[in-house]
Structure 1
Amino acid sequence: MKVSAREGRDLLIAWLALGFAFSLLYVRGITPTNMTDVLVSDLFVAEFALSLATVGVAFLLHELAHKVVAVNFGQHAEFRADYGMLALAVAGGLAGFLFAAPGAVHHRGYITPKEHGLIALAGPLTNVVLAGVSLAVIPFAPDIGQRGLFINVLLAGFNMIPFGPLDGATVLDWSPVAYAAAAVPTIGPALLLFFGV
């Protein structure tokens, strides 16, 4: 699987921007007068490293899973960062509310509805696997494990909502049965995590 120079740059920038945005969200009390001091503090540096290792990896492996499956089906596929949304994520982190849509894998070439559905499903299922890995890591590295579990459960569930450009809508268009089966390990844990359903 090839990664172009532009794609590599976009992946790196999206990873760093997401890590930075989530660090701003988790380190409270940043003001224009203390921003420089906070950004070079040990607390912020540690939070940035934690966010890169969890949030950044969760988002980017989700997108790369789409690419791997698309390429397997003969597609030309590349990740493209959405710089406007990345800037919004950083601004949101400062404001204490974050919506992150770092970009997407764009693919082209002929595919069947089933192949399109499987490409869409690859991202959320990757987050399910990463959530399982994070759960296993909790006894050894609680910060990484808990943050990884939270973000991967969130991403898997959110992306399987059958609406608009989200992965769930593509999967449902392909197969309601496949969608229902995928909703159990994706949307189910997210509902449990957030609402105790």
Structure 2
Amino acid sequence: METADTIRHLLISALPVLIAITFHEVSHGLVANKLGDPTAKMLGRLTLNPIAHIDIFGTIILPLMLIVVTDGRFVFGYAKPVPINPMNFKNPKKDMAISAAAGPVTNLLLAICSFIIWKAVLTPLAGLSPELVGEKVLRPLTLIFQSGIVVNVVLAAFNMIPIPPLDGGRVLTGLLPYKQAASFSRIEPFGFIIVLLLIYSGIANYIIMPFIVFFLKLFQIY
């Protein structure tokens, strides 16, 4: 990828990635706080200030690497996880699952909002505006909101892989009977390694790609 293309993809993808991961983490903390765990609130993590959520590798280095390696076709990142103490919940197993599900659900809502702004606002404006305004202003904004759809769908899909500590793993733990949930949760220390192996082997594609393709077709991106 040439330098100019790299810069263009960075400008298009940076804001959607930052918004997606910030809202994802804040939603975990907000729901947890609502269910009785004020840990995130006490540590100042219930803020939309992205600085509070930035992880050097997951928020900056990883997205940059993916933009370069995939020619901007695939962008993904993550923020510092919002701390949650399930011992503060009335029903730790159930409430932890609800808190975990809040992140992917928020990303899908952001994808829907991006789609609505693209189709209901930017597209009509493009038809009414002078060509220069359409090319210099509305076209870049359209690309940003389209990127927002892709970023949020991919983030939701990836996090719903049913392996702890990903959100899908925590949701599955909450749905399993107590004995099975306790056994399943023991893989959490190795969860990230398992996820990396699933991605490297291509097995993860069979888990998340149907979800991604379905929603990208729904949002007229794919």
Q: TM-score, normalised by structure 2?
A: 0.56
After TM superposition, give the deviation of residue 121 of structure 1 in Å: 0.5
User: Is it true that 1:89 corresponds to 2:62 in the alignment?
Assistant: yes
Q: Quick check: 1:158–1:187 contact (8 Å CA) kept in 2?
A: no
Matched, 1:114 2:94: yes
Higher helix proportion (structure 1 or 2): 2
Map of 2:106 onto structure 1: 126
Aligned-pair identity in percent equals: 28
- 2:147, 2:76 → 1: CA distance? 17
- Work out whether residues 136 and 145 of structure 1, in 8 Å CA contact, stay in contact via their aligned partners in 2: no
Cα distance in 1 for partners of 2:96, 2:210 equals 23
**Displacement of 1:51:** 2.7
Matched, 1:192 2:206: no
Q: Which residue of 2 aligns with 1:163?
A: 163
The answer to whether the 8 A contact 2:25-2:79 is kept is no
Contact 2:76 2:154 in 1 (8 A): no
**1:1-197 paired onto structure 2 within 5 Å:** 28-30=1-3, 44=7, 47-75=9-37, 76-77=39-40, 78=43, 79=45, 81-86=54-59, 88-89=61-62, 92-93=65-66, 95-97=68-70, 100-108=77-85, 109-111=87-89, 112-139=92-119, 140=122, 141-175=141-175, 189-192=211-214
RMSD of Structure 2 on Structure 1 (CA):
3.2
SS in 1 for 2:36: coil
* Alpha-carbon distance in structure 2 between the residues aligned to 1:71 and 1:137: 30
In the alignment, structure 2 segments of 5+ residues that lack a partner are: 46-52, 123-140, 177-207
Rounded Cα–Cα distance in structure 1 between residues aligned with 2:67 and 2:152: 22
Q: Radius of gyration: which is bigger?
A: 2
Report how many aligned residue pairs link the two structures: 149
Aligned residue identity for 2:18? G
Q: Which range moved further: 122-131 or 145-154?
A: 145-154
Cα drift, residue 151 of structure 1 = 0.9
Deviation at 1:158, TM superposition (A): 1.1
Tell me, yes or no, if the aligned pair for 2:160 and 2:169 is still in contact at 8 Å. yes
In the alignment, the residues of structure 1 paired with residue 100 and residue 20 of structure 2 have an alpha-carbon distance, to the nearest angstrom, of: 16
| CA–CA separation in structure 2 for the residues paired with 1:53 and 1:47 | 11
Unmatched segments (≥5 aa) in structure 1: 1-27, 31-37, 177-185
| Paired residues of 2:114 and 2:145 also in contact (CA < 8 A) | yes
Cα–Cα, structure 1 residues 160 and 82, in superposed 2: closer, same or farther, change >3 Å? same
Deviation at 1:133, TM superposition (A): 0.8
1:83/1:142 Cα in 2 relative to 1: closer, same or farther (>3 Å)? closer
Q: CA deviation at 1:171?
A: 0.5
| Residue 117 (structure 1) shift | 0.5
Structure with the bigger percentage of strand: 1
**Secondary structure of the residue that 2:170 maps to in structure 1?**
helix
How far is the alpha carbon of 1:193 from its aligned partner?
Answer: 5.2
Q: Alpha-carbon deviation of 1:50?
A: 3.3
User: CA separation in 1, counterparts of 2:150 and 2:58?
Assistant: 22
The answer as to whether partners of 2:105 and 2:156 remain within 8 angstroms in 1 is: yes
Amino acid in structure 1 at the alignment position of 2:19: V
Task: Give, in angstroms, the shift of residue 106 of structure 1.
Answer: 1.1
Q: 1-side partners of 2:113 and 2:63: how far apart?
A: 27
